[in-house]
């Protein structure tokens, strides 16, 4: 008979705690953006979520985080089959912004010197071919009464023509209250505009004073800030998108089940 093979006892590496932290961070990065694709729509000036319009084109929420967004789209806009940008970039400040690594067709090595990001590059008018906007991470005000794991985060893309409204609002919060957007309840609304069809407005409702709610907001704001720059998903095939667009009742049914800001089987409450 051969010699018995000695079985080595499993042992932890010397730096096991550091390894756990590194592996946890890597696992979180791999899942970045999963489940974060639900967007509040402002298309045509109608504020809606998953196909359900919001009463009065208004919603009350907490803006947990924001990021600058540059997005370049190819071809003409088709409401029945909306496309995703072929080149996009995120950033906290404009300096240093560059195409995201998952951009299908990066237009330049950086945004600052890209021809598509210059005024006059748009096919019509004096604007830019690349649209400069903001992506906001939101939670409905009603969720502040729930346990943190039950909060549902949605995202809103602020169009270029509404950037002055957002910038003015953020500055007023700082100058008048010394508060960031996540420390207050904000009413988001859309109104007609003769030059740009519609504009998105931001209005202060109240400062969050409840310490328990504010503590939860602090935690969620940090989480959303780390994940908000998730890449765009590839657009659906035109046939599939058109088929979905012809079934608004299905979208409304899904929205009722999702309950973003409202109870299940009821219209979204904002």
pLDDT at 12: 73
What pTM does this model have?
Answer: 0.74
Report pLDDT digits (tens) over 32-46. Answer: 544 455 899 998 889
* Cα–Cα distance, 161 to 165 (Å, whole number): 9
Report pLDDT digits (tens) over 170-203. Answer: 999 999 999 999 999 999 999 998 888 899 999 9
∠ CA 192-195-200, rounded to 5°: 45
pLDDT at 29: 57
Strands 48-49 and 58-72: unpaired
Comparison of pLDDT for 149 and 3, the residue scoring more: 149
Mean local confidence (pLDDT), 63-69: 95
Label each residue of the chain as H, E or C: CCCCCCCCCCCCCCCHHHHHHHHHHHHHHHCCCCCCCCEEECHHHCCEECCEECHHHEEEEEEEEEEEEEEECCCCCCCCCCCCCCEEEEECCCCCCCCCCCCCCCCCCCCCCCHHHCCCCCCCCCCCCEEEEEEEEEEEHHHHHCCHHHCCEEEEEECHHHHHHHHHHHHHHHHHHCCCHHHEEEEEEEEEECCCEEEEEEEEEEECCCHHHHHHHHHHHHHHHHHCCCCCCCCCCHHHHHHHHCCHHHHHHHHHHHCCCCCCCCCCCC
Q: Which of 54, 87, 56 is nearest to 70 (CA)?
A: 87
**Domain extent listing, the chain:** 34-258
Report pLDDT digits (tens) over 246-257. Answer: 443 343 343 333
pLDDT at 195: 83
Report pLDDT digits (tens) over 72-103. Answer: 998 775 555 567 899 999 999 998 999 999 99
* Cα–Cα distance, 47 to 58 (Å, whole number): 7
Give the whole-number percent of the chain exceeding pLDDT 70: 75
pLDDT at 8: 60
Mean local confidence (pLDDT), 125-144: 92
Residue 186 contacts residue 63 (beta carbons within 8 Å): yes
Judged against a pLDDT cut of 90, whether residue 26 lies above it is answered with no
pLDDT at 7: 58
Q: Which of 99, 47, 78 is nearest to 235 (CA)?
A: 78
Report pLDDT digits (tens) over 151-177. Answer: 999 999 999 889 999 999 999 999 999
In sequence order, what are the residues at sequence separation of 6 or more whose Cβ sits closer than 8 angstroms to the Cβ of residue 198?
42, 44, 45, 190, 191, 192
**By CB neighbour count within 10 A (0-12 exposed, 13-18 middle, 19+ buried), where does 17 fall?**
exposed
| Encoded tokens for 181 | 């957007």
Q: Which of 39, 44, 41 is nearest to 192 (CA)?
A: 44
pLDDT at 255: 36
Comparison of pLDDT for 23 and 190, the residue scoring more: 190
pLDDT at 261: 57
Mean local confidence (pLDDT), 222-233: 91
Judged against a pLDDT cut of 70, whether residue 238 lies above it is answered with no
Residue 136 contacts residue 159 (beta carbons within 8 Å): no
**By CB neighbour count within 10 A (0-12 exposed, 13-18 middle, 19+ buried), where does 155 fall?**
buried
């Amino acid at each position: 008979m051969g010699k018995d093979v000695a079985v080595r006892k499993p042992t932890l590496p010397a730096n096991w705690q550091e390894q756990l932290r590194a592996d946890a961070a890597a696992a979180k990065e791999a899942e970045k953006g999963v489940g974060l694709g639900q967007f509040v729509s402002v298309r045509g000036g109608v504020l809606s979520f998953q196909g359900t319009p919001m009463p009065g084109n208004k919603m009350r929420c907490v803006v947990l985080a924001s990021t600058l967004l540059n997005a370049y789209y190819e071809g003409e806009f088709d409401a029945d089959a909306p496309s995703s940008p072929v080149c996009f970039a995120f950033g906290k400040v404009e300096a240093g912004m560059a195409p995201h690594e998952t951009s299908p067709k990066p237009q330049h090595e950086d945004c600052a010197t890209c021809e598509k990001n210059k005024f006059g590059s748009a096919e019509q008018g004096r604007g830019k071919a690349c649209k400069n906007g903001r992506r906001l991470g939101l939670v409905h005000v009603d969720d502040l009464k729930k346990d943190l794991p039950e909060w549902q985060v949605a995202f809103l893309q602020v169009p270029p023509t509404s950037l002055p409204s957002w910038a003015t609002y953020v500055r007023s919060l700082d100058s008048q209250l010394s508060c960031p957007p996540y420390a207050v309840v904000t009413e988001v609304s859309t109104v007609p505009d003769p030059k740009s069809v519609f504009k998105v407005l931001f209005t202060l409702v109240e400062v969050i004073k409840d310490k328990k709610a504010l503590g939860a907001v602090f935690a969620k704001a940090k989480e959303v800030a780390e994940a908000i720059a998730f890449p765009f998903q590839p657009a659906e095939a035109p046939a599939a998108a058109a088929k979905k667009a012809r079934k608004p009742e299905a979208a409304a049914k899904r929205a009722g089940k999702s309950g973003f800001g409202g109870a299940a089987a009821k219209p979204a409450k904002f």
